[in-house]
Structure 1
Amino acid sequence: MTDVIRRKIDRARPAAAEGAPGADRGWRLALARAARNAMGLDLEFRSLTITRQSLAEILEQVPDRALLGLLDGPQGGLGVIMLAPSVTAALIEKQTLGRLSAQPPAPRKASRIDAAMVAGVIDRALAGLDEALAEEADLIWAGGFRYASYLEDPRPLGLMLEDEGYRVLSADVLLGAGREGRVILVLPATGRGLRPALQTDAAEVEAPQFTAALGAQVMQADCRLDAVIGRLTLPLRQIMALAPGYVLTLPSATLDAVSLETIDGCRIAGGKLGQNRGMRALKLAEAVAVRPVTPAMPKVPRVALSEEPPPELRAAG
C-alpha cells in the first residue's frame, strides 16, 4: 500500500525543468533586470518551464499576433524570441508614456517599429543571461545570442530554422497595472557556444601573476585602425581650393578591396565592405603579419681625424 501511494506522489510531482537551475534562474534575473534598468518596468515571473521540443511543435504554439524576433547565435545558430501582444504593448507604452495606463490597449499585430523599440531590451536580457551563466553548463546552449531581425509572419520560421531539437523557455510574466503575458525563448538544443569558465583553486588565484596582469592591461589599450577604400594624391593648390560640393574621383576604389591599416599606414589585413545588423562592417578576407618596428639607434656625432685635439688632451700628452 505504501509503494502505491509513493508512486502516485511521484506522478503528481512536476518534472524538473531541463537545464535548471542555471538557465531557469539566469533567464528570470536577466529579463527582469533588463526591463527594470532599461525602462523602469517591474517584471515578475509567474511561472517558467524549460522543455525540449521539435520545430513542428514550436510552430504550433506561436502566440497570436506575437512579436517575433530572430536571434543570431554562435556558429550560425538561430533562435527566436516571441513576445505576446500584451507584453509588447506594455514595453512600448512604458517607453512612450513613461507609465502603464489602467486600461490596456486593444491587441494588435506587432510592427517593425515595435520590434526596433524593444530590440534593446531583448539584447540587454540576452547579455544578462550570458553573465548569469558564466560558470554554468547551460552557457554552451543558452549563451551568445543577440537580436538580429524582425519577422512579420511566423510561416518563414519553418524554412529559416533547422529541423532539429530546441530548448524552449516559456514564461508567464506580470508587468504591473494588471498586465500579464507570455515570453517564449527558443534556442537550439545542441550546444554551439563557449564552455563556462572553470573555477581555479584559491591558492592559484592569490598567487602573484604580474606577467598575466600586465599583458591583460596592455591588450586593453586602444589601437586605432583605418579602413582605407582608396587613396588620392592632389597638388597643394587643388587641396586649398576644395569647397563643399566638390567631387573627388577615386580611380582604384572598390568595396571588395578595402585595406585595414594602422595610423602610420602599415597594412594589417584586407577585406570587403558590408553590413551587420544594420551597421557598416568590414569582413576580413586575409591577414598579413605585422613586422615589428625596430627602434632607431641614436646617432653619435663623429669627429674628423683632421681636427685638432682639445687643449686638455694635448696637456695630458
Structure 2
Amino acid sequence: MPETDDHSVLRRKLRQGEPTAAPAADMSPGRALRLAISRAADRTVGLRLTVFGQSDDVLTLDGVIDELNADQMLISVTSGDDLLGLMAIDPELRACLIEMQTMGNLSAVAAEPRRVTSADAALAAPVADAFLAMLNETAVGTQLAGWASETRVGAPLECPRAAGLVLPDGAYRLVRLSLDFGIGERQGELCLALPEHRHPRAVPKDDPGNVGWRDTFHDQVLGAQANLNAVLHKMRMPMAQVENLVLGQVIPLSGTRVTSIKLVGPDGRVITTARLGKMAGQRAVRVETGHADMLDMPPDQAEAPVPPPVDVIVAPDLPVTQDAPDLPVTQDAPGMPVTQDAPGMAATQDAAGMAMTQDAAAPGQDLESAAS
C-alpha cells in the first residue's frame, strides 16, 4: 500500500507537467480556415487534403478581380437574396472534387485544362457550402467570427469581368488557401472573397420562429432616417437682384426672429416650430412645440409625386375699422298712390338692328320744361 501511494503521488506530480489541449480562445483565423476546408472536403466527398499556404488580404473590388484567373471556376456567394461575394476554385481542385464523386479516388495524373461547365459547379457546390458552414463554426472567437454566417453558394459566374459587374463596390477580404491532395504533385487553390465588415441579422436563440417580428419591424421603422429642413425665412426677390448678389452682401429678413424657425418635412408640411440658438459652438435649434402626428396619405396619392411647396406672400395687417351704424328702416311715404301700368300699352321688343336713342325735347320747348 505505501508503494502504491507513492506511485499515485508521483503520477499526480507528473500529470501536472503534461501539456493540456489549447482552449478555443487560442483559435486563430488561419487555423479556423484550415480546419474548415479540411473538414468540409473530408465529410462531404471523402477528400483528404492539407493546407500548406494561405493569405488574407483586404482589397477593393477591382483588386479582387485582378487576383482572379480566367481558368478558375467562379461561384457567387449569397446571403438570402443579396449577392455578397464569390468563391474561386482552380482547375486542379475542381478535378479532384469530380474524381472523388465519380470514381471514389484520385488519379495520379494532373487535370487537363478544359472549359468550366454547369455540372462542375453543381458537383462543387456541396463542398463549398460545407466550407462556409464549417468556417462559421471554427471562426468563433476570432477576427473572422460572423464573416461567413448565413451564406451559401449561388449561381456560377462566367468570368472575372462578369463578376466585377455584378458584385457591389466596397472593401473585400480575400482569403487564399493553397491545398495539397497527397498524391503525386497535385496541388490546388481555393479563394473566398466577402465584404470585409459584415453585420448579419441576429435572430434570438429563444425565438427560433422569429415570432417577435413586430418588435423587429417597429425598430426598423423607428430607425429609418427622416429628413427635416430648418427654415428661418422665405422671401421673393427679382431675378435681376438675385444675379447682382455678391459675397458679403447683407440681406434684411424683415419680421424674422430667433423663434421663427420652422421644421419642415420633405413634403413641405410644417412639423413643428423651434428656436434658433447655439450648442457646443455650433448652430442648433430647440423644439418649442410638441411633435406632429403621423398622417396616412390617401390611397390615390400614396404613389403620386409630392408637389413643391408654394411660397405664400402675406399682406401686412390692415387697421381694424369699426362697422358703420345701421341705416334706419324706411317706410312708404303716406299718400303715395300705387302706380299701375298704363292701359293699352303693349309690350314691345327691340327690333333687330334698331339703334338705341334718348328722348329729345320737343321743338320750342325749353330745357327746364323738358326736364320736368
Q: TM-score, normalised by structure 1?
A: 0.53
Q: CA deviation at 1:136?
A: 3.6
Task: Write the deviation string for residues 211-259 of structure 1: whole angstroms up to 9, x where unpaired.
Answer: x9xx78xx79xxxxxxxxxxxxxxxxxxxxxxxxxxxxxxxxxxxxxxx
Q: Following TM superposition, by how much is the alpha carbon of 1:151 offset from its aligned partner in structure 2, in angstroms? A: 1.4
Matched, 1:156 2:162: yes
1:90-109 maps to which residues of 2 (within 5 A)? Answer: 90-109=96-115
Q: How many residues align?
A: 183
Choose from 51, 54, 61 the match for 1:48: 54
Instruction: Show CA shifts across 1:245-285 (max 9, x none).
Output: xxxxxxxxxxxxxxxxxxxxxxxxxxxxxxxxxxxxxxxxx
1:181 corresponds to? 188
Q: Is residue 74–residue 193 contact of structure 1 (8 Å, CA) maintained in 2?
A: no
SS at match of 1:192: coil
| Counterpart-to-counterpart distance in 1, 2:108 and 2:67 | 29
2:178 aligned with 1:172: yes
Consecutive unaligned residues in structure 2, runs of 5 or more: 1-25, 210-372
> Which SS does the other structure have where 2:68 is aligned?
coil
Q: Aligned equivalents of 2:27 and 2:172: distance in 1?
A: 18
Deviation at 1:144, TM superposition (A): 2.3
Post-superposition Cα deviations, 1:107-144, rounded to whole Å, max 9, x if no partner, equal: 21221100001101100111111111234442233322
Q: Secondary structure at the match of 1:148?
A: strand
Query: Take 1:23 and 1:187, find their aligned partners in 2: how far apart are those partners?
Result: 15
Distance 2:30 2:149 in 1: 13
Q: Report the Cα distance in structure 1 between the residues aligned to 2:194 and 2:43, rounded to whole angstroms.
A: 24
- Report the equivalent of 1:64: 70
Please state whether the residue corresponding to 1:139 is helix, strand or coil. Answer: coil
* Inter-CA distance 63–26: structure 2 relative to 1 (3 Å threshold): same
1:190 match: 197
Offset at residue 189 of structure 1 (A): 0.7
- 5+ long unaligned stretches in structure 1: 1-19, 198-211, 221-317
Asked whether 1:79 is paired with 2:85, we answer yes
Q: Displaced runs of 4+ in structure 1, greater than 6 A? A: none
What residue number does 1:121 align with?
A: 127
- The residue type paired with residue 68 of structure 1 is L
Q: Which has the higher helix share?
A: 1
Q: Would you say the 8 A contact 1:67–1:109 is kept in 2? A: no
Residue type of the alignment partner of 2:156: Y
SS of the aligned residue for 2:181 comes to strand
- Once the two structures are TM-superposed, the CA of residue 102 in structure 1 deviates from its matched residue by 1.4
Pair 1:75–1:106, CA change in 2 (3 A): closer
Tell me the SS of whatever aligns to 1:169.
strand
| Aligned counterparts, 1:256-295, within 5 A | none
Please report how far the alpha carbon of residue 194 of structure 1 lies from its aligned counterpart in structure 2 after TM superposition. Answer: 5.5
Q: 1:89 aligns with which of 78, 86, 95?
A: 95
| 2:49–2:180 CA contact under 8 A, matched in 1 | yes
8 Å contact from structure 1 (residues 67, 110) kept in 2: yes
2:43 to 25, 37, 47: 37
- What amino acid is aligned across from residue 171 of structure 2 in structure 1? G
Q: Does 1:141 align with 2:147?
A: yes
Report the Cα distance in structure 1 between the residues aligned to 2:166 and 2:154, rounded to whole angstroms.
13
1:49-75 alpha-carbon deviations (Å, 9 max, x no partner): 111011111111212311111000378
Which is bigger in relative contact order (C-alpha 8 A, separation at least 6)?
1
* In structure 2, C-alpha distance between the alignment counterparts of 1:141 and 1:51, rounded to whole Å: 14
Q: Secondary structure at the match of 1:42?
A: coil
Percent identity over paired residues? 31
Out of 148-157 and 20-29, give the one that drifted further: 20-29
Q: Which amino acid aligns with 1:117?
A: L
Counterpart CA distance in 2 for 1:134 and 1:144 is 14
- How far apart, in 1, do the equivalents of 2:157 and 2:82 lie? 18
Q: Are 2:180 and 2:186, in contact at CA under 8 Å, matched by a contact in 1?
A: yes
